[in-house]
Amino acid sequence: MSDTATTPSSPDTLRARAAELDAAHASTDRRDAFLLPEGVIYLDGNSLGALSVAARDATANAVSRQWGEQLIRAWNESSWWSAPERVGDRIAELVGAPAGSVVVGDSTTVSLYKAVHSAARLRPGRSVVLTDPDSFPTDVHVTRGVCDQLGLTLELVSPGDAVARLDGSDDVALASYSQVDYRTGELWDLAAITSAAHDAGALACWDLCHSAGVVEVGLTAGGADFAVGCGYKYLSGGPGAPAFIFVAPEHIAAFTNPILGWNGHATPFAMSPEHVPADGITRARVGTPPVLGIAALEGALTAYDGLDVADVRRRSLSLTAFFVECLDGLGIDLPVVTPRDESRGSQVSLRHPDAYAVVQALIARGVIGDFREPDIVRLGFAPLYLSHADVLAAAVHLRDVVDGREFERAEFATRAAVT
């Protein structure tokens, strides 16, 4: 990375460098698999991943042929019933987990509820659950709700302090953290925190919303007990796509779903009033899965066919490093919140006192990123469909918006409901 670069580079030098990097990373370029509108540089794939040809076609097929023609027969003929496990297995490969340990179907919020609730109950007699005060709010809300319901104490400890908090302790049931901070992009050490939790007799649950599909998550390698993650961010499953839950194989037999629904039953069509949990990860299911959403997600995941996540991660690190190199090279003097070393996910967050207006001005130029409270310009670099040439073009737009004070225009000050 160009931490030390202080001399501005000419745009021509940066353009040549972009071409060189794009050639070096050609094997992970999946731009043609995606349907981005002309003139848009999409830096928000970490909020809503772009539509792919395969996701569009899979959705159309699920609607027209499966729903339209097969009707109720599609539950068997198009394997709707087993889709949560089938798509879960594909995601398992991306996050370093074995087949049979991941299932999709509910939102991240509901999946996290199931994971945190069941994990905390696997450590009876322990009273504390740790989570990050700076987590995405739903994570704090859900964890607090579970603690209230189970009579546990929620302790807000930054992931950077978690190992020290766990060291020598005997009161923690569960440490629940995001692998990548949604706001700053910081990548936390999943293996180190998990191992500290285990040494203290606790379990570890990981939220992979900002790491699945772009980081070598390594759930098994890192010893993670539980995990959840989002389907509509880097995985590009579409708005409201189902999320996933991972339960480590050694915990599945003891996993008690806090929402006992008929889809998690051993024999759902026996229509029995007794609840007998299914063997395997199926017990993490709840009710009828969102079939159309799963179809879109399953189509979207084919963008990863033939790719190794390690190569996607290398491309991601190169794109984000090059963006910081462009900031330095073009003399864009905004504080970079995201770590410049490799402890980052696939985003670069910058601070600007008028961050909201800066984002609006960028969007008006076709560079779509997002704003996060209080002063963060958050730019996500979805590696499969962004090039180093896009990165440079985005940086040039940012320079023009900031240096030309374009963000001061009145039209960029009004906030919409979704920022």
Q: Residues in the site for ligand PLP, rule: CB under 6 A?
A: 107-109, 136, 138-139, 178, 182, 207, 209-210, 230, 243
Separation CA 14–CA 281 (nearest Å):
49
Separation CA 3–CA 342 (nearest Å):
12
Task: Output 109 or 195, the one with its CB closest to ligand PLP.
Answer: 109
Annotated catalytic residue 136: yes
Annotated catalytic residue 207: yes
- Give the shortest CB-15-to-ligand PLP separation in angstroms: 34
Annotated catalytic residue 322: no
Annotated catalytic residue 113: no
Separation CA 379–CA 351 (nearest Å):
11
Task: Output 233 or 397, the one with its CB closest to ligand PLP.
Answer: 233
Separation CA 260–CA 273 (nearest Å):
11
Determine which one of 233, 285, 315, 399 is catalytic.
Answer: 233
Determine which one of 34, 136, 246, 407 is catalytic.
Answer: 136
- Give the shortest CB-209-to-ligand PLP separation in angstroms: 3
Contact 154, 147 (CB under 8 A): yes
Contact 327, 299 (CB under 8 A): no
Determine which one of 89, 207, 225, 370 is catalytic.
Answer: 207
Would the CA dihedral through 400, 405, 409, 413 be positive or negative? positive
- Give the shortest CB-104-to-ligand PLP separation in angstroms: 12
Task: Output 74 or 376, the one with its CB closest to ligand PLP.
Answer: 376
Give the count of beta carbons closer than 10 Å to the beta carbon of residue 31: 12
Give the count of beta carbons closer than 10 Å to the beta carbon of residue 240: 13
- Give the shortest CB-86-to-ligand PLP separation in angstroms: 21
Determine which one of 177, 232, 304, 412 is catalytic.
Answer: 232
- Give the shortest CB-135-to-ligand PLP separation in angstroms: 6
**Residues 6+ away with beta carbon under 8 Å from 384:** 28, 29, 30, 31, 33, 34, 236, 303, 304, 307, 312
Task: Output 290 or 329, the one with its CB closest to ligand PLP.
Answer: 290
Determine which one of 30, 183, 378, 399 is catalytic.
Answer: 378
Task: Output 18 or 368, the one with its CB closest to ligand PLP.
Answer: 368
Annotated catalytic residue 378: yes
Nearest to 109 by CA among 121, 119, 117: 117
Catalytic residues: 136, 207, 232-233, 378
